[in-house]
Amino acid sequence: MRVMITGGGTGGHVFPGVAVAREVLKDAESQVLYVGKDSGPEEGWLKEQKIPFQGIKASGFPRRLSLRLVTFWFDLAAGFFRAMGLVASFRPQAVFSTGGYVSVPLSLAALLRGVPVFLLEPNVEPGLAAKVIALFARRVFTGFEATLSRFPKERTRHTGIPVRQEILVADRSAARVVFGLAPDVPTVLFFGGSQGATNLNQMAADALKFIGEGSQPLQAILMTGRNDYQAIADTLERCPLKVVMMQFITNIHEAYAAADLVVSRAGAMTCAELTARGIPSILVPYPYAGAHQEKNARALEAAGAAEVRVEKDMDSGLLAEALLSILQDPVRLSAMRKAALAAGRPDAARAVVGAIRETVERKNVA
């Protein structure tokens, strides 16, 4: 097959595409081209993954009156014409979109060229771009079962969110060696997503300081993002606990493997990786993402896999209390782990690529 994959801006839109690309490329004769945003973070990520990449112009639709209401249409036109050229040269048999504004130009170009478009909506609450692309997508895949009702029933399938294979197979003991962690001490992973999260970082650091004043054995991995690293390092300077701090965790699969509990935002990709791996979590949804992250988090909470805390109602003391209440209760921790595994869909990439391949083969026969 020749498949173009599109989506970008955040890891939540990029890494499902990476998982699908790898699944397609298991067939040595297949080809993939990833199309993302010019100068977006996805270009570096795709280069690391050794997946061919092309960038196009793209910007999000402005939610209020501003100059961006004008520049948006210019960006969309420029991105669309660039996408038309890429479709003409690569000649894909299918386009797989992970949603988000970056994916709109290529999806429209594919529509006009008669190339079937497949859409993944990773969040419980569909975004604007996904609603547009779903109007003409051959098949819509959903990350959460609750999203099925938001799209046409006959074209929609709940597959879960494709997760990279290394997330699933990373070894716990080896991962703890990589991070210099003790093999038998409860381990918490804190991270706010690919861009970092200042409020969550500070709460995590203060909670670790508080726990360090007691007798609870604990160690942690803390991803701060670039801007907060020094401030958090200063906060934790005298903390007696073992805390591995990193601006960005490139080997997130090993960080997951090392963790007994994760404290994070509730982006769709994070939720998929936590459940595929079977990791209990405390989710603190990003408060400025509309309803997306809280709905994702509540779905995991309803399944018994996570505890949800709203940021405006949180402080470091409450976070420390929540951490200890889970880590000190092995029965609860085990139940959350089982619930996370039950909610996970580790076969999502295979299911998505299988559906794409079926459509391509049917079209070839016709």
Same domain flag for 10 and 125? yes
Same domain flag for 175 and 234? yes
Structural domain for 57, as ranges: 2-163+346-365
Same domain flag for 146 and 287? no
Q: Could you tell me if 118 and 138 are in contact, meaning their C-beta atoms sit under 8 angstroms apart?
A: yes
- CATH code: domain of residue 41: 3.40.50.2000
Same domain flag for 350 and 323? no
Same domain flag for 80 and 216? no
State pLDDT tens for residues 289-305. 667 899 999 999 999 99
Same domain flag for 286 and 356? no
State pLDDT tens for residues 204-213. 999 999 999 9
Same domain flag for 170 and 291? yes
Predicted confidence at residue 366, as pLDDT, reads 60
112 SS3 class? helix
How many Cβ atoms are within 10 Å of 133's Cβ, its own excluded?
29
Same domain flag for 154 and 176? no
Same domain flag for 191 and 318? yes
Same domain flag for 259 and 279? yes
Q: Could you tell me if 5 and 30 are in contact, meaning their C-beta atoms sit under 8 angstroms apart?
A: no
Same domain flag for 228 and 179? yes
pTM: 0.88
Report, in angstroms and rounded to the nearest whole number, the Rg of the chain calculated over CA atoms. Answer: 21
Q: How many domains does the chain fold into? A: 2
State pLDDT tens for residues 350-361. 999 999 999 999
Rounded to the nearest 5°, which phi and psi values hold at 223?
-95, 120
Same domain flag for 26 and 58? yes
State pLDDT tens for residues 178-199. 999 999 999 999 998 655 588 8
